[in-house]
Structure 1
Amino acid sequence: MDEITTEIDSLNSEVIDHMTNWVDMLGGGEIGRYVVAGVVLLFVLVLKRVLAHGVIGGLRKLAHQRKHSTAAHVLDAFEAPVQLLVILGGVYFAVEILDLPKNVDAVLFELIGIFATFSVFWALFRSIEPLAMSFNNLAGRFGGGLGDDLRQFFIRAVKTLIVVIGVVVLLENWGIDVSAFLGGLGLAGMAVALAAKDSVANIFGGLTILADNLYKRGDWIETPHFEGTVEVVGLRATKVRTFAKALVTMPNAQIVDSPVINWSRMTHRRIKMVIGVEYRTTADQIEKIVEDIRSFLKNDDDVAQTNVAQMVHLSDFGASSINIDLYYFTTTTDWVKWRDIRNRHIIAFKRIVEDNDAAFAFPSQSLYVETLPEKMSEDMANKANNDRAKTTRQIG
């Protein structure tokens, strides 16, 4: 480490000596210093991108990394901070050559140090995305890749940590005693902590959702409070777009404490219906209808044949019909495709019933009257006789 420091000091002295020689070539004096300082600043401002790209390219070659490797992406993320460091280097040498008063030099060098510290944390901040992607790919090789929501959560958490540490370091560079400041919060800090307990509970709820993989963006979920498609799984809350296109925001702590149905995790989708045939349908007809429906389902590629139940049975004698229960699953879980399959099956079941010379029953009631008043009986009898006579004349 001491050798590196010595080399840097030697290089620094050498560069300053060269710039001093340039000043002497320009006749020395204050004007010569300003000219050289201006040339240095103009040089780094114009060529900052070229210089930064050269530094990054050199590091990439030094690491012997391929173009699309993790190190290459990380080094690409460093390019903008390196450009800032190049500019700061130019400012540093310009200040050195100007030979300003010591108090001005001290302020400028302190500012340069602060911006240099900022550029380091900026580089770390920008490198989180490619590092997280690399870690996710590495974990995926072992069958444990992170979900997008969990990866984004950790990216935000690490970035927040870098920002906090960076702010603390910068404050320390400014001479602010951060530890004393934090210790001086006292009761105010406790009050803030108590007020933030719900937020902390929601953050832990978000961690639970991500760790247990309860759901992710795009999943269709249902809770006692709402049903819809997950749009955002945040640190504090989950945002769900209902089927009425309204946006519901629910604190994570409340979701974790409630039963959650994740319909997107269905392996198959169920179809359940009842076919009611008339009571005048014979037993042979009913048996044939049941067998034809079973055969139809067995030979349909859209119907799941294994690992799920498939049942077609007579269920009961209804008030107006003999009922056939159908209970089976489709291979698809897509809602639109499922509705198309159900539509096709309903038409097919109707054809099966009609092909067996049977008919669907509909709710009906029969009214039996034991006695009628004498006058009403005579009127009804006369009306019936008149209707028969009229029918006879029409036929004749």
Structure 2
Amino acid sequence: MKKSLLLLLTFTFLFAASTFWETVIEIEKEFYTSRESRVFALSTETEGNATAAGQSVGETVAPEHPPGKEADDLSSVADEKIRKFNILLSVLKERPYEVNNPNNPFYNPASSEQLRTKLKTRISVNKQYNYDLAVVRDEIALLELDARKHIYGFFIHLADRWTEMSNEELLEFFKKSSQWLRSINVGKYTRLYREAKENDDKISKKIVENYENLRMHYHFFSEFLEYVMSNPSMFRYRSLTSLFKLNEIIDRINSVELFAKINTDLRHINTDMGRLLIFLLIMVVAWGSSYLFYYKLYAFLKRLIEAQKHETDELLLANLNNIRRPLFILVITFGFRLGLEVLFHPAPLPEKLAIFFFAIVVATVAYILILIVDSLFFDYMVKKGELKNKQLRQELINLILSIIKVTVVIIAISILLVRLGVNITGLVASLGIGGLAVALAAQNTLSNFFGLLKIIFDNSFSQGDWIETKDTEGTVVEIGFISTMIRTFDNALITVPNATLANTPLKNWSKRTVGRRIKMHVGVTYGSKREDVMKAIEEIERMLMNHPGIATPKKIDRQLLTSRSRREKKLVSMEDKYGVKTTLLVYLDKFSDSSINILIYCFSKSVIWQEWLDVKQDVLLKIWEILESYNLDFAFPSESLYFDPENIKESFKPFAKTPKIPE
């Protein structure tokens, strides 16, 4: 199972995107909450006259901007409003399920009806007791609730029907909403609102709050209606059928006399010959195109690749073979979607079918991106040595690739969830709340992941290194997210948690550039002459200094270490950091029980085991030859028995007496 990727940065906004109704609330708060400071800057007579004449405030009162506001500032505010209105329209057209959501923060039908009943009851009771301020408070609240209800119904109707309505029907719908807006009589509450602002009691504060909310909804909806009425072309339905002008072809087919007669019978199943023939044609074209993609185009590209006879031919063919199946699925999916849209014409494709095809496309594109990352990036750039940074560690590449592929899966799932109407913002917030519980439940997993980061950034070991711990020794096969696989020298595979390796002392035998130790004691017999032993020691030292496989200071590239030191700019020993050992020692070391020991301590230039064994063997043979040339014998553990003749004679006297001869 492949993991995942997605480098389409344009989709990253989905994680923080607001829903439709949250966007409405944001627009109202950003542009319409301070309306009273501008609206009431007009003369009080304007609203009063409008009210007296039976007109709404919206007909006569036009908002003014504060004096001194620069023209370019006014223009930027207008441009920002238009941008936000366009965002609303885009969400309404592309994600209508967000609009038709009763559980929204703007207007909830169930709870709002309960509130409406409560307000009407309170108004009736307060009128009986002549609580005029309380009556005004609840009347404004009821009017504000009606405004939200109408705006809610307006957007739901528009989201459900805009693909079916003509420009004339849309304009008629907008005009009806505009007439309702003009019927709102807010002016009669203006004086009470101003008086309430001067008071500090709870009822007055509530009157101010309800009135300002009503004015906010009023002016937002007024300007939005004005915008859409002046731009009805924004609601032109651009389906695939209309995009490819298939609707015109359908009408021409249905205009044929023979097909027109057949359509009289087909109307009972809500279809016609034009749509059926176009559907069949699209299916044939889709299957034909997929066949060309899957077989013919693949065979053609295969011949071109094989003709080049390049070392990457096999890799390219494998990649091409992996990608052609998802491309086949994409072509078939597009064909079916277009064909079904033709069958449902002029109505739009049902939402469930649209989501189904959308899910197939998202999954297929994500899979193709994963294949591209896995095959082209990893195999070609890494295995073929095309990376500019030759020292880039394999486990770091694996980590980056895994993160990229997991990111693709997460983003693909997020895109699908948004298409299904899931509020990603709420989901992310809930994940943040449950993050503590997840962290507590996955302590070991998290510690192993951070152990991986410690291993990588400390550069403790890499894939292919020979490491040794208290319990494990072997070659590192792979450093994963949770654990590291180690192949022991008896060919067993061990899995060790990353946290264990990150927090335990370990030996890394592969972190050696020059120098693998050769240490031994050569023993010669005690009967050797002192002069011969010293000459042999000098000869062995000369042999090691001149041996091509033994590391000495003269044979090391100091320029390489100096350049590394300048590049890294750290006050550390480059010999110790990169593992460069050139020590060479040959000394008379010890008078042991059975031999005179000569210490030989040096390092081979190569750190590879087999090459080290070759060098060590050659050194041993040359030492043997040198000892023979100076008549020195190898000593070995032995015991000597010394006999004292006098002691033996006395010891055997009792047994040496002359025997008595019998008479």
Q: TM-score, normalised by structure 1?
A: 0.76
Aligned in 2, Cα 1:310/1:22: closer, same or farther, shift over 3 Å?
farther
How far residue 277 of structure 1 moved from its aligned partner, in angstroms, is 0.6
* Amino acid across the alignment from 1:297: L
Structure 1 position 27 matched with structure 2 position 301: no
How far residue 294 of structure 1 moved from its aligned partner, in angstroms, is 2.1
* Amino acid across the alignment from 2:259: G
Match of 1:118 in 2: 363
How far residue 290 of structure 1 moved from its aligned partner, in angstroms, is 1.3
Helix, strand or coil at the partner of 1:255 = helix
Distance in 1 (CA, whole Å) between partners of 2:242 and 2:345 is 21
Match of 2:652 in 1: 377
Question: Contact conserved, 1:285 with 1:358, CA < 8 A, in 2?
Answer: yes
Aligned in 2, Cα 1:6/1:104: closer, same or farther, shift over 3 Å?
closer
Out of 329, 334, 341, the position equivalent to 2:615 is: 341
Work out the number of aligned pairs and report it: 364
Aligned in 2, Cα 1:38/1:351: closer, same or farther, shift over 3 Å?
same
Aligned in 2, Cα 1:221/1:133: closer, same or farther, shift over 3 Å?
same
Helix, strand or coil at the partner of 1:324 = strand
| 1:242-297 Cα shifts (integer Å, max 9, x gaps) | 11222221111111112222211222211111111111111121122112222322
Distance in 2 (CA, whole Å) between partners of 1:78 and 1:20 is 39
Distance in 2 (CA, whole Å) between partners of 1:146 and 1:380 is 89
How far residue 324 of structure 1 moved from its aligned partner, in angstroms, is 0.7
Match of 1:61 in 2: none
Distance in 1 (CA, whole Å) between partners of 2:347 and 2:486 is 61
Q: How does 1:234-253 map to 2 (within 5 A)?
A: 234-253=480-499
| 1:41-98 Cα shifts (integer Å, max 9, x gaps) | 23212312646999xxxxxxxxxxxx99xxx99x979766554433232112211222
Aligned in 2, Cα 1:103/1:43: closer, same or farther, shift over 3 Å?
closer
| 1:336-377 Cα shifts (integer Å, max 9, x gaps) | 222232223223222221221121112234456789587743
Distance in 1 (CA, whole Å) between partners of 2:408 and 2:492 is 36
Structure 1 range deviating more: 34-43 or 367-376: 367-376
How far residue 170 of structure 1 moved from its aligned partner, in angstroms, is 0.9
- Consecutive unaligned residues in structure 1, runs of 5 or more: 55-66, 383-396
Match of 1:17 in 2: 248
Distance in 1 (CA, whole Å) between partners of 2:530 and 2:414 is 86
* Amino acid across the alignment from 1:341: V
Structure 1 position 202 matched with structure 2 position 431: no
Out of 333, 337, 350, the position equivalent to 1:92 is: 337
Helix, strand or coil at the partner of 2:279 = helix
Work out which of the two has the higher radius of gyration on C-alpha atoms and give 1 or 2.
2
* Amino acid across the alignment from 2:283: L
Helix, strand or coil at the partner of 1:312 = strand
Distance in 2 (CA, whole Å) between partners of 1:47 and 1:236 is 45
Structure 1 range deviating more: 298-307 or 322-331: 298-307
Aligned in 2, Cα 1:211/1:274: closer, same or farther, shift over 3 Å?
same
* Amino acid across the alignment from 1:150: L
Distance in 2 (CA, whole Å) between partners of 1:164 and 1:381 is 106
- Consecutive unaligned residues in structure 2, runs of 5 or more: 1-85, 91-235, 264-271, 298-309, 557-581, 658-663
Structure 1 range deviating more: 132-141 or 245-254: 132-141
* Amino acid across the alignment from 2:489: F
Question: Contact conserved, 2:474 with 2:487, CA < 8 A, in 1?
Answer: yes
Structure 1 position 315 matched with structure 2 position 560: no
Match of 2:397 in 1: 151
Helix, strand or coil at the partner of 1:358 = coil
Structure 1 range deviating more: 177-186 or 306-315: 177-186
Out of 286, 293, 297, the position equivalent to 1:44 is: 286
How far residue 119 of structure 1 moved from its aligned partner, in angstroms, is 3.5
CA RMSD of aligned residues (A): 4.1
Aligned in 2, Cα 1:351/1:230: closer, same or farther, shift over 3 Å?
same
Out of 287, 291, 295, the position equivalent to 2:542 is: 295
Q: How does 1:62-81 map to 2 (within 5 A)?
A: none
Identical-pair percentage: 28
Aligned in 2, Cα 1:135/1:346: closer, same or farther, shift over 3 Å?
closer
Out of 528, 543, 557, the position equivalent to 1:281 is: 528
Aligned in 2, Cα 1:217/1:331: closer, same or farther, shift over 3 Å?
same
Match of 1:361 in 2: 635
Higher relative CO (Cα under 8 Å, sequence separation at least 6) belongs to 2
Helix, strand or coil at the partner of 2:350 = helix
* Amino acid across the alignment from 1:88: T
Helix, strand or coil at the partner of 1:27 = helix
Aligned in 2, Cα 1:275/1:351: closer, same or farther, shift over 3 Å?
same
Question: Contact conserved, 2:586 with 2:598, CA < 8 A, in 1?
Answer: yes
Question: Contact conserved, 1:95 with 1:105, CA < 8 A, in 2?
Answer: no
